[in-house]
Amino acid sequence: MKILKKYDGTFSNFEVLAYLKDRSATKERAKHIVASEEKVLDYLNQTAACNQSMQVIGDFLAKIAKFKLTKSEQLNIINTRPTSLPEIFPIIDKYSERFKDYEPLEEMLEIVVSVLPLPPEKPE
């Protein structure tokens, strides 16, 4: 594999999923997808990433901008879709120093629930 353009950023699960779907659609599907890519694709198709879009992510980022979260915190929230305080505490670095009470965190969770789509239902 040859690196055409160096990018030292991080990607959301949605972006990785979109890349893998595009890659599998543009090449001879079965031949060029290695087993690890297929496993990642299968996993991401079971997460909220499969129901996200660039529009949804953009809307979410606009709504949480007022909280001044780091890019890493934003990415982790998009990828994990926390819905409770115990789920968001490990994502927000030094939350007790940055926020005086839990109200901003609860507001963030309301935004998560209202903007970021749910993962697909798991078959029983």
Q: Report whether pLDDT(47) > 80.
A: yes
Q: Could you tell me where the DSSP H helices lie in the chain?
A: 13-26, 29-32, 35-44, 54-64, 71-80, 85-88, 95-98, 103-115
Which pLDDT value is given to residue 84? 96
pLDDT, one tens digit per residue, over 72-118 is 999 999 999 999 999 999 999 998 899 889 999 999 999 999 999 99
Which pLDDT value is given to residue 17? 84
Which pLDDT value is given to residue 40? 85
Which pLDDT value is given to residue 55? 95
pLDDT, one tens digit per residue, over 5-27 is 655 678 888 888 888 887 776 65
Which pLDDT value is given to residue 14? 86
Which residue ranges make up each domain of the chain?
Answer: 13-50, 53-115
Which pLDDT value is given to residue 36? 80
Q: Report whether pLDDT(37) > 90.
A: no
Token reading at 103: 């109200």
The yes/no answer on whether domain 53-115 falls in CATH 3.40.50.150 is: no
Q: Report whether pLDDT(1) > 60.
A: no
Cβ–Cβ < 8 Å for 73, 99: no
* Nearest to 33, CA basis, from 44, 20, 46: 20
Which pLDDT value is given to residue 5? 60
Instruction: Report the pLDDT averaged over residues 35-64.
Output: 90
